[in-house]
A and B are shown apart, each in its own frame.
Chain A
Amino acid sequence: MWEQISANKTKSIFLAFFILGILLLIGFVFGQFIAPGGGALGIAIALTLWVILSLISYFQGGNIMLAISGARKIEHADHPMLFNIVEEMKIASGLPKVPDVYIIDDPSPNAFATGRDPEHCAVAVTSGLLNILNRDELQGVIAHEMGHIKNRDILLMIMVGIMLGVIVLMADIFLRSMLWGGGRSRRSSGGGQAQALILVVGLLLAILAPIIAQLIYFAISRKREYLADASGALYTRYPEGLASALEKIGASAGRYKLQSANRATAPMYIINPLKAEAASITATHPPIEERVKILRSMAGGAGYVDFNAAWKKVTRSNANIIPGSGLKASPAVALRGAAVTEEKPEQTKRERVRQTTDLLWSMSNYIFITCLCGTKMKIPPTFSRPEIQCPHCGRQNQIPKPQNSCSKK
């Protein structure tokens, strides 16, 4: 019953078709400009380009994204808490399978989800994120990412993103061919006025289309972020977790820049990895303060109805962020208490950082041995001698043969 929301993306789909319209229009005008009557061919070229790129990204998009970001797959033993949280959120969201879990060695705290549908999905988090968030907060972030998977945002954003790319590409080619092939219009003077009109329309389109398409793209992206926040609150039943995570992530975002992110992959992350952003129409994500405020205003419960009410209150808007039928189908969901309580205090930051760095070391095939005196030693994979002396007590320690227990590659 919670998945009702995914059937209710009418507005996003409408905007996506709008971009498709722009794509077809630019294809048509482009074709007409090259040769009168070549409009259909232009449309065909634009569509073919889009379909080919879409197919590639449909089947390989997730892998490409993971490869670009340098993410590495981990198992339960590598980071039990992260893995458990992903399993918990799988149950809460009703996904058919547990997503693969990836980790990115980067001090900038961020996370993203990828995969074309719920059967082929993965979540990736940076080591910086693991360093600063406690259990509740991490759960909030993972739930947000699961929301993207469940709402099929990833596929939508990839498809729309590629349309945008093709529009930019075609506009670029058009402008260039005008620059270099300027003599063409003189030669075909027989066509006269019609050709001149096409030229003017084409020029306007080539300049305006990429801008408009981009603005629409940003609008869709922001809306999807809000919906993923709503899902995050619903799945965890604890909006404060996500709110406090966003606050922490936002506070440290200014300090680090995610090395592997670029403009194409930016909308996939939980916050924009590229810049500290203002509330503007050129932002892929809504401002963090606003997202936090909305989540903290969810006093009555964790359901979509509560998120919608909070969103209306904070943005002072009369429209609904969540479509009406999604609201109707959403049952009331009570909030729950924090997992991190007095009886179960959270790990200290120091313990967390140690756990994360140990994970990264072991992923680089370092071997850990603990001496009898309690000293923990990390042995690099290049160390070739069979035993090592403990720097504290001087005992000789055998180095076990490397076993590929935790990391791939």
Chain B
Amino acid sequence: MGTTGIVLIAAGAVVFILILWFIGAFNGLVRSRNEVKNSWSQIDVQLKRRYDLIPNLVNTVKGYAAHEKGTFEKVTEARSACMKASAAGDIGELGKQEGFLTQALKSLFAVSEAYPELKANQNFLALQEELTSTENKIGFSRQFYNDTVLKMNNKVETIPTNIVASLGGFKKEAFFEVTTAAEKEVPKVSF
């Protein structure tokens, strides 16, 4: 076996290792993408649950505070805007609309403070608890989702995995940021 043979074997080994690495990197990217999908579905479940709870809440409050029409309309509008963005899969827009919805719900609850009978209503209290909890769950799963997105995006952007990513058609994923302009300023509600 001459030097050419040794060179051939060495080249073969290098190519083999490269292929192994490529497979590993590709599978890693697939895994990350699945994690992102999976953690998004966790948020999605909670978002849907919130959309389902809102009509009930609005109806319950209407029974006691029928003339707070503006507040109801805002909540209903924000809800349908959210559902539209959710159906379109536009995570950036969804985050913005969710911010508005959260804000609208806050003012709905603030309004309900003025109606002692409503506050004593068991149905209302139960709905309030469910909504609070759903909001918390969205918040906690959002953190988890953004962590997985960060991991995915790092892989897509950094050398050398970015080569595999561009060959395999992996794209950066969007962070889910609920626009907090509403959260920053404390809502002022006057009666």
The B106-155 residues at the A interface (CB cut-off 8 A) are 106, 109-110, 113, 126, 128-130, 132-133, 136-137, 139-141, 143-144, 147
Complex: A66 Cα to B174 Cα, angstroms: 44
Contacts of A88 in B (CB 8 A): 133, 136-137, 140
Contacts of A92 in B (CB 8 A): 140, 143-144
Q: Report A369 CB to chain B, min CB distance, Å.
A: 14
Contacts of B189 in A (CB 8 A): 343
Complex: A235 Cα to B143 Cα, angstroms: 10
Interface residue tally on B, bucketed by range: 20 to 34
Q: Which residue on chain B has the smallest CB distance to residue A91? A: B140
Complex: A343 Cα to B139 Cα, angstroms: 19
Contact of A343 among B110, B133, B147 (CB under 8 A): B110
| Segment at the interface with B among A8-16, A77-85, A119-127, A320-328 | A77-85
**Quick check: A80 and B137 within 8 Å, CB to CB?**
no
Known: A88-B137, A336-B139. A331 touches B42 (CB 8 A): no
Complex: A333 Cα to B139 Cα, angstroms: 13
**Quick check: B106 and A91 within 8 Å, CB to CB?**
no
User: Does A105 have its Cβ within 8 Å of any Cβ on chain B?
Assistant: no
Contacts of B141 in A (CB 8 A): 91
User: Does B187 have its Cβ within 8 Å of any Cβ on chain A?
Assistant: yes
Binary per-residue interface labels of chain A (69-108) against chain B in the complex, 1 for a CB within 8 Å, 0 otherwise = 0000000000011001101110110100000000000000
Q: Which residue on chain A has the smallest CB distance to residue B128? A: A344
Complex: A336 Cα to B142 Cα, angstroms: 13
User: Does A372 have its Cβ within 8 Å of any Cβ on chain B?
Assistant: no
Complex: A344 Cα to B125 Cα, angstroms: 11
Q: Report A280 CB to chain B, min CB distance, Å.
A: 37
**Quick check: A344 and B133 within 8 Å, CB to CB?**
no
Give the interface SS of chain B, mostly helix, strand, loop or mixed.
helix
Complex: A94 Cα to B144 Cα, angstroms: 8
Complex: A369 Cα to B132 Cα, angstroms: 28
Known: A81-B129, A84-B129, A92-B143. A343 touches B137 (CB 8 A): no
Complex: A88 Cα to B143 Cα, angstroms: 12
**Quick check: A91 and B42 within 8 Å, CB to CB?**
yes
Complex: A333 Cα to B110 Cα, angstroms: 29
Q: Which residue on chain A has the smallest CB distance to residue B106? A: A343
Q: Which residue on chain B has the smallest CB distance to residue A83? A: B133
Contact of B133 among A84, A237, A345 (CB under 8 A): A84
Complex: A87 Cα to B42 Cα, angstroms: 12
Complex: A336 Cα to B42 Cα, angstroms: 21
User: Does A1 have its Cβ within 8 Å of any Cβ on chain B?
Assistant: yes
The A376-402 residues at the B interface (CB cut-off 8 A) are none
Q: Report A231 CB to chain B, min CB distance, Å.
A: 14
Complex: A84 Cα to B129 Cα, angstroms: 8
Q: Which residue on chain B has the smallest CB distance to residue A340? A: B132
**Quick check: A343 and B109 within 8 Å, CB to CB?**
yes
Q: List 30 A-B contacts (CB under 8 A).
A: A80-B126, A80-B129, A80-B130, A80-B133, A81-B129, A81-B133, A84-B129, A84-B130, A84-B133, A84-B136, A85-B133, A87-B137, A88-B133, A88-B136, A88-B137, A88-B140, A89-B140, A91-B42, A91-B141, A91-B144, A92-B143, A92-B144, A135-B132, A237-B143, A333-B143, A339-B136, A343-B106, A343-B109, A343-B110, A343-B187
Closest 6 CB pairs of A and B: A84-B133, A92-B140, A91-B140, A343-B110, A88-B136, A91-B141
Q: Which residues of A approach B to under 8 Å, CB–CB?
A: 1, 80-81, 84-85, 87-89, 91-92, 94, 135, 235, 237, 331, 333, 336, 339, 343-345
Q: Which residues of B approach A to under 8 Å, CB–CB?
A: 42, 106, 109-110, 113, 126, 128-130, 132-133, 136-137, 139-141, 143-144, 147, 187, 189
| 10 more CB-based (< 8 A) A-B contacts, given A84-B132, A84-B133, A91-B140 | A1-B147, A84-B130, A84-B136, A85-B133, A87-B133, A91-B144, A135-B132, A339-B132, A344-B132, A345-B113
